[in-house]
A and B are shown apart, each in its own frame.
Chain A
Amino acid sequence: MRASRQVYLDHSASTPVDPRVLDAMMPYFSDIYGNPTSAHNQGRDAARVIEAARETVAAILNCRANEIVFTGGGSESDNLAIRGAAWRARQHNLSARLITSPVEHSAVANTIAQLRDLMGFESVAAPVDRYGLVDEDAFVKACNDGGAIASVIYANNELGSINDLPALSSIARDRGILFHTDAVQAGGQLTLDVERLGVDMLSLSAHKFYGPKGVGVLYIRSGLDLPSAITGGGHEGGRRAGTQNTAFIVGLARALELAHQAKAERCAHFRLMRDRLISGVLTRVPGAQLSGQPDKRLPSHASFIIAGIDANALLMHLDINGIAASSGSACMTGNPEPSEILLAVGYTAEQAKCGLRFSVGVRTNEDDIDYTVDALARAVDKLSQLSRERAP
């Protein structure tokens, strides 16, 4: 039997597809199905909507359409950016240093680690503060010795904190270092104006802003000649081989357009819900503290450390009450490891197993929040009672 109420507060993990997005996608499965690279009517129809989608995305990113590459998602975008920059450095005998932060999404962190371990690149992590924000002075130091690329996350998936990209990107670019950002969590909520942000490359994923899963964007500043990590046909200007997924690309563009149009209104709603949640949790749940930057954080994102309460047990209690949330130490095998990100910002190993993330969405309402705060307070009470009973 399902719980009487279902509350989805895991929009940082994924969002439902907006019905208007789904409507926009539908013709491109069975009506207009040609391969966009084909030289016939079916193919041209598909190519035309893809180029229209590219224009839409480019307008929102304040860039040219040919700077937009459609990919298979956020992780793929990150891989193309970082591997591309690494191959480019190898090709032109440039610096082999890959500069990053210790709190990146695993799509960035593990790509850099693999390039370091298997390909002889050097990985340099610029230190972060207790909110997970890259320290500018330390970043200057990290960049002073040059580098093939610097990749810094825009809004942290676990902590919600927002990096000062204009400052960081100018530090890197002043030193001749390409600057990439994983903007996957920022999509639909923060500015994606690549000129204001000063980035050379930027990754997005549609399913974080009410689009479909399995499609993303990599912005690549024009003039930047990156060898592609996915080789094959000349799709996407030779920057990402593989037949374009017309329906998903249309869905991505429509979702981004809707998110952009409604941004102010949505973000105001997110903040209202998020702040209600944060104040509810901090007043009602003993041992709860906010993690991440209190002000410079994603409007939809609330994260906590709940002292002494294993996040996996808490997620089980929330789930049984119909509430979807998540944790950086989430684990399906009962063997939780501390969250790398919480460790990197200075929490203890015990605390780093107790991180909990809620992320609100357009359909979240006050009752959802109040129900969640109640359920969380009750679960924490029960679990702390269990651990008290356990103590000898």
Chain B
Amino acid sequence: MSRSDTRVVVAMSGGVDSSVAAALLVEAGYDVVGMMMRLWSDPTMGGAEHNRCCTPVQMNDARHIAEKLGIPFYVLDSKDIFRETVVQYFIDGHRDGFTPNPCLECNRRIRFDWLLRNALALDADFLATGHYARITKDDGGWRLRRGVDADKDQSYVLSVLGQEQLRRALFPVGEYPKSKVRKLAATLGFDVAGKRDSQDLCFLGKSDYRSFLRLHAPDVIAPGPIVNRDGLVLGQHQGLANYTIGQRKGLGISSREPLYVLAMDERRNALVVGARDQLGRDELVAENVNWVSGSPPAASFRADVKIRYRARSQPAEIEVMADGAMKARFDQPQRDITPGQAAVVYRGDICLGGGVIAKYENRSAAQNGSTHIA
């Protein structure tokens, strides 16, 4: 199969990374088709009618880049499925007292499922995106690796992929440092080269997630008690979704020593706070675990675990539990293990997989029989 017979659908956002990805594929001689998904955005919020991933400006930018590269460009109406999956996941997660990461869910349900299936239906062989990650193949199958640019590495949000997806995925910019990608964009004459990277959740429009939840899941924002670990009521909170683990400011209670959010107890709608030294946790359990290779490397093994997109990975002992869940015991306590975020497991630069953090605890506490489970 020659490259010109190999069709690649590239997910274009109008931004630097996906534009350069498209250009690299065209240069390599593939039959490249540009595609953008029209995603859902809350039409009632702050006058922002457009999802931040597909504003009219971005759509025009992507279309112009595609014209420049001489490739077709299509916009796929994906509003309904995005609302039903990713946005609902976000709302449900908060309702259950979690802080969900919808970007992983988007990669799982939208980009590498809905979009991939649409690409394959168009007779594409591959789906390419502008992610900073790499794919290699060896006897163990397809491997997901960190991008060469450690600061930009996005393997965390791709940890939901399996062999079926990696076999069909291309990440052309993962081989380059971001600085080089920006330079390439400038060389290619893309006027996106100065754009800043996108950050917040795409479907919130101009709003923040708290007002979003107030509108779409008002029950999540119900006030309740702020308690310490002994159950003593110290004040009132404004809805659990307003807080994150490790948060100190904005609790609205006075205390001799600084208090931090330790946990959300959604059963009692209580916000559990405590001193800084009560914050660290050295163990977590993650559920809904995906192993990139299809199965864990061993029943227990040493690895590095990343508990947030922006966190550094930390050494831990991994244990695969009977029900498929994964326990990670960190060498050092972690301050902000947050249920709903992903715990992603690495060995060197290989991403082995990950799961959604369901609970966390302290080994020491567990040993003396007073487990605190959030």
Contacts and interface: CB of A to CB of B under 8 A. Distances in A.
Given A383-B121, A385-B121, A313 B77 contact: yes
B334 interface: no
Nearest to B121: A382
A336 B77 contact: yes
Interface string A356-386: 0000000000000000000000000011011
Interface of B: 4-5, 7, 31, 33, 36-38, 54, 56, 59, 63, 72, 74-79, 81, 114, 117-118, 121-123
B77 A310 contact: yes
Given A333-B56, A334-B37, A334-B54, A390 B81 contact: yes
Tell me the dominant secondary structure on chain B's binding face.
mixed
A386 B122 contact: no
A316 B77 CA distance: 12
Contacts of B114: 390
A333 B36 CA distance: 9
A319 B75 CA distance: 13
Nearest to A385: B121
Interface of A: 1, 310, 312-313, 316-317, 319-320, 331-336, 382-383, 385-386, 389-390
Given A1-B4, A319-B72, A389-B117, A334 B122 contact: no
B38 A335 contact: yes
A382 B123 CA distance: 10
Contacts of B117: 386, 389
Nearest to A316: B74
B118 A386 contact: yes
Residue among A319, A331, A335, A383 with most chain B CB within 10 A: A335
A390 B56 CA distance: 27
A386 B78 CA distance: 12
Contacts of B77: 310, 312-313, 334-336
A390 B76 CA distance: 15
B123 A320 contact: yes
Contacts of B5: 1
A334 B114 CA distance: 15
B123 A334 contact: no
A328 to B, nearest CB: 16
Nearest to A353: B77
A238 B292 CA distance: 75
Contacts of B81: 390
A334 B76 contact: yes
Contacts of A310: 77
Given A319-B72, A334-B36, 17 more contacts: A1-B4, A1-B5, A1-B31, A312-B77, A313-B118, A316-B74, A320-B72, A332-B75, A333-B75, A334-B59, A334-B75, A334-B77, A334-B78, A335-B79, A336-B77, A385-B121, A390-B114
Contacts, number: 52
A312 B114 CA distance: 16
B7, B36, B63, B121: residue with the most chain A Cβ atoms closer than 10 Å: B121
A353 to B, nearest CB: 9
Contacts of B75: 312, 331-334
Contacts of B72: 319-320
Contacts of B121: 317, 382-383, 385-386
Contacts of A333: 38, 56, 59, 75
B111 to A, nearest CB: 15
A333 B7 CA distance: 23
Contact of B38 (A317, A319, A334): A334
A316 B4 contact: no
Q: Closest 6 interchain pairs by CB?
A: A334-B38, A334-B75, A1-B31, A382-B121, A316-B74, A334-B77
Contacts of B123: 320
Contacts of A1: 4-5, 7, 31
A385 B117 CA distance: 10
A114 B7 CA distance: 47
Given A1-B4, A390-B81, A316 B122 contact: yes
15 contacts: A313-B76, A313-B118, A316-B74, A316-B76, A316-B122, A317-B121, A319-B72, A331-B75, A334-B37, A334-B79, A335-B77, A383-B121, A386-B117, A386-B118, A390-B81
Nearest to B56: A333
Contacts of A320: 33, 72, 122-123
Nearest to B63: A332
Contacts of B38: 333-335
Nearest to A390: B81
Nearest to A1: B31
A3 to B, nearest CB: 10
Contacts of B4: 1
A319 B37 CA distance: 18
A317 B7 CA distance: 14
Contacts of A332: 59, 63, 75
Nearest to A381: B121
A332 B33 CA distance: 15
A377 to B, nearest CB: 14
Contacts of A313: 76-77, 118
Contacts of A383: 121
B117 to A, nearest CB: 6
A383 B122 CA distance: 10
A313 B81 CA distance: 15
Nearest to A389: B117
A212 to B, nearest CB: 24
Contacts of A385: 121
A386 B116 CA distance: 11
Which of A332, A334, A335, A385 is the most central at the interface, judged by chain B CB atoms within 10 Å of its CB?
A334
A282 B123 CA distance: 25
A339 B173 CA distance: 40
Nearest to A312: B77
B72 to A, nearest CB: 7
A388 B255 CA distance: 57
A331 B56 CA distance: 13
A333 B5 CA distance: 28
Contacts of B33: 320
Nearest to B29: A1
